[in-house]
Amino acid sequence: MLDLAVIVVSYNVRDFLRDCLASVLVSGGGLAFETCVVDNGSTDGSAEMVASEFPAVRLVRAENRGYAAGNNLGLRAYGFGTQTPAARYALLLNPDTLIAPHALADLLAFLEARPQAGIAGPRLVREDGSLDKACRRGFPTPEVAFYRMSGLSSLFPKSRRFGRYNLTYLSPNLTTEVDSVVGACMLIRGQVLADVGLLDEQYFMYAEDLDLCYRAKERGWQVWYNAAVTVLHYKGQSSRQRSTFANVQFYKTMRLFHDKHFKARSSALTNGLIHASIGLLGGLAILRDWLRPAERRGVASAVPLDGRSAQR
């Protein structure tokens, strides 16, 4: 049995994908692992590059049915979601990341030492060295979403109450159990996927990682942020190519996550206010994006599900 299957879903980021795969190949530290690239209908020669330059990488050419669906194709190729997968762990990895030597081995060893830990993610940093805040999050409950949408989380980032979504009151150097880590680099124990199933394909892009962590924690699994492992995340390389579409999906996803997990336990007034706020913020985000220069367009990040605008 393999120790690890690395799943990379890619869309029109050939050069980033090349660098990502090269970094993955030297990061195993003796692990028995394979890498699978699911190409979501790229038109930039990404699939051809993988086939010619990385013949050991499993390549799946797919129509673009979204990030969750693409990852599920890769996961199913290794039997994840069943009781007999071909690997003990799965790593979901964005193609605009760079993995340090031994990072994969270190991430896996971290989960091995914690039997109740089902999912873990590293510290993700941006090009300027700053923390990618999406790498450790609290669930966007109606209360947490209100703090984020109202700006209270930005005004009081060190507050345990108002800073709960991005855990801004905690040091980035603190390894800790969290609600969710980000799918840009998410290590998942095979048994978790057998217990809760694969990613929910209702999410075309965004929040499928939050949803998976939510379902895992409902089944008693722990989710951990591992500050001892650092991964570089360029972020936003695919969503910029279709920024209006990405913004629409982003806000659609916000409503989907709320309705799936919180609508039934919230009042009609709360649900109405949340739906109205999402619609208003979504419209403003699209308008702001249209007014930006083309090179600065992308998904707005001032609202709760500001996870990863990379890769899609």
Q: How far apart are CA 199 and CA 67, in angstroms?
A: 9
Q: For residue 21, what are its two tokens? A: 């795969």
pLDDT digits (tens, 9 = 90+) for 161-202: 999 999 999 999 999 999 999 999 999 999 999 999 999 999
Taking the C-alpha atoms of residue 106 and residue 112, their distance in angstroms, rounded to an integer, is: 10
- What is the rounded distance in angstroms from the CA atom of residue 280 to the CA atom of residue 99? 38
How high is the pLDDT of residue 307?
40
Confidence check: pLDDT of 73 > 80: yes
- pLDDT above 70: residue 227: yes
Q: Is the pLDDT at 87 greater than 80, yes or no?
A: yes
pLDDT value at position 141? 86
CA–CA dist 267, 142 (Å, integer) = 11
Say which residue, 139 or 274, is predicted with more confidence.
Answer: 139
Which H helix or E strand runs over 225? Answer: strand 222-233
The share of the chain scoring above pLDDT 90, in percent, equals 67
Confidence band for 146, pLDDT divided at 50, 70 and 90: confident
pLDDT score for 285: 66
* CA gyration radius, the chain: 18
Give 82-124 as a DSSP string: BSS-SEEEEEEE-TTEEEPTTHHHHHHHHHHT-TTEEEEEEEE
- Which tens digits make up the pLDDT trace of 196-211? 999 999 988 788 999 9
* Average pLDDT value for the chain: 87
Average pLDDT estimate for 46-70: 96
Q: Beta partners for 224?
A: 120, 177
- As a CATH number, domain 2-233 is 3.90.550.10
143 vs 82, more confident: 82
What number is the average pLDDT over the span 64-73? 95
Q: What is the percent of the chain where pLDDT is above 70?
A: 85
Hey, which residues does 4 pair with through a beta bridge? 33, 89
